[in-house]
Chains A and B, each alone.
Chain A
């Protein structure tokens, strides 16, 4: 029998490394213990997969160090009764069985730190096929047939960009991977790099061959140290095997490979800002045209794709463009990975064919809400996207259909919200983000986002004025028109979609000074319901400003004059005796 421990960042944060050490301390043979990346069932971490000698899997979830002895005895005897309570439930297993995995096909299965594990799973066969049997034009043709579109957000056809870079004059060209993953709430790209780095390298080398680039560069965000470590390790292994370097697989194609770490700036996800940053400058976008395909990194023809885009490439080369195009809708082909988080029960990575609905992802796979509150909206596309309300839950996952709601497909962040999230607060959250991240180059973005943020701050404090909504809308449209790059052009989306679908919530803040979701602290009051209060004194002990009085076993009261609305009493009450109004 052998053990595989999920060690993506989430798994490690949940304690996977402690579990591994405990297993070794419990005398499990080190040769039987290996690691894998992110399985995607993040809410069940740490996850330990036990395979018997016939490769039958027993998946153990939410394991901690204290379970090591039971697992060790299971390993020794093959009797699983000791680990019965750790086994993944039938229901939770459906989270994976209902998915179709292409970009994530090896994630959580193979060991990301060993190139042999990747080749044993068929890895690098697509690269070999491309280099030895296909011309660059044929590769581009296959990608065209597949209908693969950029997974970084905009959904631009990949073959078209590759072709433009190929056609561009000049010997020196660059293939760049955008692994900046700036959308706060998205982690698909991190999971791919941590769990299957060779798949990214293979996709990039095929892309480099197609456009005629001899240099491949990955720009990874600095917040992902483990991804950087595993990718560096993978590059070293591939270089040692001659898969990166001169005359790859005996062909005429040579390519080197470098990693650059970002330094924390959202705008550097925008492709021309990314190039500026690669060159060591402040990450400020360039005017387009010229596009990177003509003049990019060091002013040479360059092609930039997202991690997930590349992660599909080797599968497409091996299985044919038609197989990929067979999945999805007319306008959106293949699969898409989503990072489903927030108030959803099963939070993790979901890869499904295009054409499924939001309901399929959030309810069928994600299991619905984790609280007893109703589903309110889902945020897609992060700071460039928008909130899609509950009545549009049957919207099909397709670039056009999602765009029609005012949100976007985006890179794959899907943050689920229940009735307790204030939508004006949500708009404020994103504008706070974009105002901070605006690079300052153009006035519309630099000043426009700041003015919008100030208005939203006023509204959430109950200082909104008649006409604020209209003024916000006007500002939104002029920023969209006037901003230089995608950051500013899309920054108004979170505001526009929340106004479109939750106008009544804005009005409640402005006209009645009320926050219907009970989130805006300036607009709520905490009260103790005397009938429910048991006088346990816990709230009074937790109150930082001594605003709660009462004696043991008698109902307490909050002095609203003193109360700073920090919510500590509310979250500490065990009897639901405290309410927000």
Chain B
């Protein structure tokens, strides 16, 4: 994504609602990420201007929490669960399968901008372990075969 295309007017509503409510920085950053898919530099500067919180502090908060990203992500964000139950039920194999299929490491995005991979703490669907979430959808009881099939279907859906 071209950084120049960041439309800051999209933040007007969020800033009008929260900029002067104390303690709202994390909430503002969450809305910002919902809008752009990540935290663009320009948005952070605007938030700083409107809230009076220094950009250094915003970056401090943003980098502390794993939820926040500073780079755009792919169309499909794969969140692979790293919880204890998933570990015991071989989530390592699923991670390897995704890496092999997409040729990316944790935290990276495929060249075509389709998939991003992120290993996350427990998703709380432990009975279906191993589990991953892709955008809003949860996929459970994964096997390498099932994982490949899901990725293939998504890739095909995106090409249509």
Whether the Cβ atoms of A10 and B84 lie closer than 8 Å is no
In the assembly, what is the distance between CA of A478 and CA of B85, in Å? 29
Could you tell me the distance between the alpha carbons of A568 and B143 in the complex, rounded to whole angstroms?
11
Do B30 and A379 touch across chains, with their CB atoms under 8 A apart?
no
Residue ID in chain B nearest A339 by CB atoms: B126
Cα A281 to Cα B26 with chains together (Å): 8
Bound Cα distance A67, B145 (Å):
25
Known A-B contacts A10-B127, A263-B67, A341-B127; A567 and B61 likewise in contact (beta carbons under 8 Å): no
Contact status B30-A566, CB under 8 Å: no
CA distance A433 to B124 in the complex (A): 16
Cβ B128 vs Cβ A282 within 8 A: no
Give the residue of B84, B121, B128 whose beta carbon is less than 8 angstroms from that of A266. B121
Known contacts A13-B138, A264-B65, A415 near B88 by CB under 8 Å: yes
1/0 per residue, CB under 8 A from B, across A178-193: the answer is 0001111111001000
Neighbour of B65 across the interface among A42, A263, A429, CB < 8 A: A263
Minimum distance in angstroms from A349 CB to a CB of chain B: 9
Chain B residue nearest in CB terms to A439: B64
The segment out of A97-105, A272-280, A300-308, A399-407 that lies at the interface is A272-280
Q: Is the CB of A183 within 8 A of B138?
A: no
Interface bracket on A: 35 or more
What mask results when residues 116 to 143 of chain B are scored 1 for a CB within 8 Å of chain A, else 0? 0000111111111101000011111001
Residues of A within 8 A of B127 (CB): 10, 42-43, 45, 341, 347-348
A379 to B127: give the CA distance in the assembly, Å. Answer: 15
B23 touches A280 (CB 8 A): yes
Tell me whether B93 and A567 are in contact (CB under 8 A): yes
CB distance from A184 to the nearest CB of B (A): 4
Interface residues of A in 251-285 (CB under 8 A from B): 260-266, 277-283
In the complex formed, the residue of A with least CB distance to B33 is: A263
Closest-by-CB residue of A relative to B127 is A42
For B88, give its contact among A14, A261, A283, A342 (CB under 8 Å).
A342
A117 interface contact, C-beta 8 A: no
Which chain A residue has the least Cβ–Cβ distance from B58? A280
Interfacial chain A residues near B60, Cβ < 8 Å: 282
Tally of chain B residues near chain A (CB < 8 A)? 43
A437→B64 CA distance, assembly (Å) = 10
Q: How far is the CA of A415 from the CA of B125 in the complex (A)?
A: 13
| CB of B55 to closest CB in A, whole Å | 15
| Binary flags per residue of A35-62, CB closer than 8 Å to B gives 1, else 0 | 0000000110100000000000000000
Known interface pairs A263-B67, A264-B65. Does A185 touch B23 (Cβ–Cβ under 8 Å)?
no
Pairwise interchain contact A184-B139, C-beta atoms closer than 8 A: no
Q: Please, which residues of chain B bring their CB within 8 A of the CB of A334?
A: none
CA distance A182 to B126 in the complex (A): 13
Partner of A223, one of B93, B123, B137: B123
Contacts of A278 in B (CB 8 A): 23
Q: What CA separation (Å) do A42 and B126 show in the bound complex?
A: 9
Contacts A13-B128, A223-B122, A280-B25; A261 near B30 (Cβ below 8 A): yes
Let me know if A264 and B100 touch, CB within 8 A: no
Tell me if B103 counts as interface (CB < 8 A to partner A). Answer: no
Q: Give residues of chain B (96-124) contacting chain A, Cβ–Cβ below 8 Å.
A: 96, 100, 120-124
B80: Cβ under 8 A from any A Cβ: no
Please tell me if the beta carbons of A224 and B124 are within 8 angstroms of each other in the complex.
yes
Most chain A C-beta atoms within 10 Å of own C-beta, residue among B68, B96, B120, B126: B126
Q: Is A571 an interface residue (CB 8 A)?
A: yes
**A421 beta carbon closer than 8 Å to chain B:** yes
What sequence of 0s and 1s flags, for each residue 393-421 of chain A, a beta carbon within 8 Å of any chain B beta carbon?
00000000000000000000101110001
A544 CB-CB contact with B under 8 Å: yes
Q: Report chain A residues within 8 Å CB of B129.
A: 341
Residues of B near A183 (CB, < 8 A) are: 84, 122
* Contact of B124 with A181 in the complex, beta carbons under 8 Å: yes
Indicate whether A343 reaches chain B with its CB closer than 8 angstroms. yes
Contacts of B139 in A (CB 8 A): 13
Does chain A have a CB within 8 A of B147? no
Q: Tell me if A9 is interfacial: C-beta within 8 Å of chain B.
A: yes
Q: Does B66 contact A (CB under 8 A)?
A: yes
Does A321 touch B at the CB level, under 8 Å? no
Tell me which residues across on chain B come within 8 A of A185, comparing CB atoms.
83-85, 122, 126
B87 adjacent to chain A (CB < 8 Å): yes
Contact B87 A429 (CB under 8 A): yes
Residue contact B120 to A347, C-beta cutoff 8 Å: no
- A45, A184, A279: the one within 8 Å of B23 (CB): A279
Q: Of A261, A264, A430, which one neighbours B121 at CB under 8 angstroms?
A: A264
Q: Is the CB of B144 within 8 A of A568?
A: yes
- B126 partner residues in chain A, CB cutoff 8 A: 42, 185-187, 339, 341, 347, 415
Give Cα A507 to B143, complex, Å.
Answer: 33
Nearest Cβ distance between residue A534 and chain B, in whole angstroms? 20
A151 to chain B, nearest CB (A): 16
Q: How far is the CA of A186 from the CA of B29 in the complex (A)?
A: 27
Q: Say whether A283 contacts B64, CB under 8 Å.
A: yes
Which residues of the partner chain A approach B123 to less than 8 Å between Cβ atoms? 223
* Chain B CB within 8 A of A108 CB: no
Is A12 in the interface zone, CB < 8 Å from B? yes
Interface centre among A184, A261, A265, A342 (most CB of B within 10 A): A184
* A223, B96: Cα distance in complex, Å: 23
Q: In the complex the two chains form, what is the Cα distance from A273 to B137 in whole Å?
A: 30
Are A264 and B67 in touch, CB under 8 angstroms?
Answer: yes
* B48 contacts A by Cβ under 8 Å: no
Q: Which of A13, A184, A342, A417 contacts B140 (CB 8 A)?
A: A13
Besides A261-B30, A283-B65, A298-B23, 7 new A-B residue pairs in contact (Cβ under 8 A), listed by A number: A13-B138, A184-B83, A222-B30, A265-B64, A265-B65, A280-B61, A343-B88
- 25 A–B pairs (Cβ distance < 8 Å), ordered by A: A9-B138, A10-B127, A13-B137, A181-B124, A184-B82, A186-B122, A223-B124, A260-B26, A263-B67, A279-B23, A280-B25, A280-B26, A280-B61, A283-B65, A341-B84, A342-B84, A342-B85, A342-B88, A347-B127, A382-B84, A415-B85, A415-B126, A433-B82, A433-B121, A571-B93
Instruction: Mark A residues whose CB is within 8 Å of B.
Output: 9-10, 12-14, 42-43, 45, 181-187, 190, 222-225, 260-266, 277-283, 298, 339, 341-343, 347-348, 379, 382, 413, 415-417, 421, 429-430, 433, 437, 439, 544, 566-568, 571
